[in-house]
């Protein structure tokens, strides 16, 4: 610990974001960079605790506590404080293949379990992570490093999201010939088409890393939809091992009256088509919010991304519906440290909505009963009702509608952001992969092997919908077990 009194001398400070009403006019990232002196002060706030919970990476009460990739956080905090940026980057890359992704889109469970956070604002770990990796790219310290010796083993990876990319990077590092198959027109999976550009720039951040991986010898094949234009059996015949990293892309729908009306879309469809339009610089997306009353159903990061995207389109009004109660301003008694803090926050999308429309767009303890259309089959309104969570006969909390609270709201665009149920099943059935009761690929955490020899599974398709950082964790760990399968032993972490 470079400065024992740093947590006393310096207050938590984050970089200033671009003003909301300015940034909603473009698709550029909305964070400003912080000057090096202030970043060093933030690094000095880290106490290098005797037991640093920030990098534990455990599940507590079903939520991440500490960093799932076990980043050596106190070490690179201290290196930043001492101005040793290149050494800090080396420490960061020991545990995380893509800190430029997690430094932008990870919700930072590390900060939720920071020991300083017990009685003070936690260390700005996520911001420091992004600053270290951005400086590394700017200074030219991140350079391609192809393996000196190839093993002669061929590995296929299906899916190029964070799990697939992490697995590919690790396996290529030890000399295997890695080919990544992606059904979309560009690699990146969730990173490319599930997260909007203002949150994670596609050209400057995502495709830059893809190009870097190609220079290291990894091959990417896009528009390769396994089970459609790619025969699934080739993976069993032509490759020594395969890792499936297809994600949990089967979205949760809302099968209520009026669901078939036009203008009601799954969030991932809305966000994906928008990113394609932004990358093509072709004007409004085919699914757009221009001049419309928009209702986003569901919270979380995806709901926030729908809010921010709709505002950039130029929507007329915006409401975000959440079935859960409004979180408290501070940790509740049943949500103690080091659990993930379930507290109210104004994320970037809600901040932008408040700046444009005057208030946080979210309404809580509310659900949608039915959609109403016009004569042409286009949604024009929806009916909401307030709910209360009460125990049923089995002791489970279930939502109960509150009489007299129905309300009709205008809506020409409805976006369903209610999470994901699991992986799409067609490929799994064609390969004969066993699944668990939640429809995920059956493969034990730590081993990642499926019921097919030489076939592994990692990321959301194995664990269900989760965080980018958990996907990287699983991709790295599955690569380790795949290498062990191929070589009899492994040196991968």
- Supply 362's token pair: 């979210």
340-388 tens-digit pLDDT? 999 999 999 999 999 999 999 999 999 999 999 999 999 999 999 999 9
What is the model's pTM? 0.94
Instruction: Evaluate the CA torsion angle 427, 428, 429, 430 in order and state its sign.
Output: positive
Task: Read off φ and ψ for residue 123, nearest 5 degrees.
Answer: -65, 145
Q: Determine the Cα–Cα distance for residues 28 and 50; give it in Å rounded to an integer.
A: 40
Give the burial class of 125: count Cβ atoms within 10 A of its Cβ; 0-12 exposed, 13-18 middle, 19 or more buried: buried
Q: Where in the chain is the domain with CATH 3.50.50.60?
A: 154-249+421-487, 253-418
Predicted pLDDT at 283? 79
Residue stretches of the chain with pLDDT short of 50: none
Predicted pLDDT at 453? 95
Predicted pLDDT at 19? 96
Predicted pLDDT at 243? 98
Q: How far is CA 392 from CA 386, 389, 396, 400, 424, in A?
A: 18, 10, 5, 10, 32
Q: What is the DSSP letter of 203?
A: I
Q: Which class would CATH give 6-139? A: mainly alpha
DSSP string, 471-483: HHHHHHHHHHHHH
Predicted pLDDT at 1? 67
We find that the CATH architecture of domain 154-249+421-487 is 3-Layer(bba) Sandwich (3.50)
Q: Determine the Cα–Cα distance for residues 371 and 108; give it in Å rounded to an integer.
A: 37
**What stretch of H or E contains 74?**
helix 73-81
Q: Are strands 413-416 and 241-244 parallel, antiparallel or unpaired?
A: unpaired
Predicted pLDDT at 3? 85
Predicted pLDDT at 212? 97
- Supply 396's token pair: 């489970």
What number of other Cβ atoms are within 10 A of residue 35's Cβ? 10
Predicted pLDDT at 284? 82
Predicted pLDDT at 4? 87
Q: Determine the Cα–Cα distance for residues 304 and 132; give it in Å rounded to an integer.
A: 26
Range 56-67 burial, b when 16+ CB lie within 10 A, else e:
bbeebeebbbbb
Q: Where in the chain is the domain with CATH 1.10.1060.10?
A: 6-139
Q: Determine the Cα–Cα distance for residues 71 and 90; give it in Å rounded to an integer.
A: 11
Q: Determine the Cα–Cα distance for residues 32 and 119; give it in Å rounded to an integer.
A: 28
Q: Determine the Cα–Cα distance for residues 475 and 157; give it in Å rounded to an integer.
A: 10
For domain 253-418, give the fold.
FAD/NAD(P)-binding domain (3.50.50)
């Amino acid at each position: 610990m470079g400065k024992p009194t740093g947590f006393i001398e310096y207050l938590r400070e984050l970089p200033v974001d671009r003003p909301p009403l300015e940034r909603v006019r473009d698709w550029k990232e909305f964070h400003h960079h912080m000057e090096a002196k202030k970043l060093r002060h933030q690094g000095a706030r880290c106490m290098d605790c005797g037991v640093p919970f920030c990098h534990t990476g455990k599940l507590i009460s079903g939520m991440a506590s500490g960093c799932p990739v076990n980043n050596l956080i106190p070490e690179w905090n201290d290196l930043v404080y001492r101005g040793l940026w290149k050494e800090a980057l080396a420490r960061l890359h020991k545990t995380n293949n893509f800190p430029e992704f997690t430094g932008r889109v990870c919700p930072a469970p590390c900060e939720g379990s920071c020991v300083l956070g017990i009685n003070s604002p936690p260390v700005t770990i996520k911001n420091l992570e992004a600053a270290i990796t951005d400086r590394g790219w700017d200074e030219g310290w991140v350079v391609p490093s192809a393996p000196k010796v190839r093993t002669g083993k061929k590995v296929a990876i299906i899916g190029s999201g964070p799990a697939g990319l992490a697995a590919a990077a690790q396996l290529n590092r030890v000399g295997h010939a890695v080919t990544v198959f992606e059904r979309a027109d560009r690699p990146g999976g969730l990173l490319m088409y599930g997260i909007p550009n203002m949150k994670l720039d596609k050209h400057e951040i995502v495709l830059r890393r893809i190009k870097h991986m190609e220079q290291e010898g990894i091959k990417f094949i896009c528009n390769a939809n396994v089970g459609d234009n790619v025969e699934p059996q080739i993976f069993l015949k032509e490759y020594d091992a395969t890792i499936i990293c297809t994600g949990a892309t089967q979205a949760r729908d809302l099968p209520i009256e009026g669901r078939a009306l036009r203008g009601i879309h799954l969030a991932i469809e809305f966000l994906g088509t928008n990113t394609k339009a932004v990358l093509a610089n072709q004007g409004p997306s085919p699914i757009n919010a221009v001049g419309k009353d928009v209702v986003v159903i569901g919270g979380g990061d995806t709901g926030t991304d729908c809010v921010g995207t709709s505002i950039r389109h130029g929507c007329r009004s915006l409401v975000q519906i959440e079935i859960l109660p409004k979180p408290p301003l501070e940790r509740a008694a049943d949500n103690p440290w080091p659990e993930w803090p379930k507290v109210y926050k104004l994320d970037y999308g809600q901040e932008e909505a408040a700046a444009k429309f005057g208030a946080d767009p979210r309404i809580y303890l509310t659900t949608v009963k039915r959609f109403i259309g016009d004569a042409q089959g286009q949604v024009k309104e929806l009916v909401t009702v307030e709910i209360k969570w009460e125990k049923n006969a089995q002791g489970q909390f279930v939502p109960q509608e509150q009489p007299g609270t129905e309300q009709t709201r205008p809506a020409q665009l409805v976006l369903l952001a209610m999470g994901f149920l699991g992986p799409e099943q067609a490929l799994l059935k064609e390969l004969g992969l066993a699944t668990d009761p939640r429809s995920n690929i059956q493969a034990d955490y730590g081993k990642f092997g499926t019921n097919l020899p030489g076939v592994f599974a990692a990321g959301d398709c194995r664990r269900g919908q989760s965080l980018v950082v958990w996907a990287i964790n699983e991709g790295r760990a599955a690569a380790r077990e795949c290498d062990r399968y191929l070589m009899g032993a492994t040196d991968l972490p």
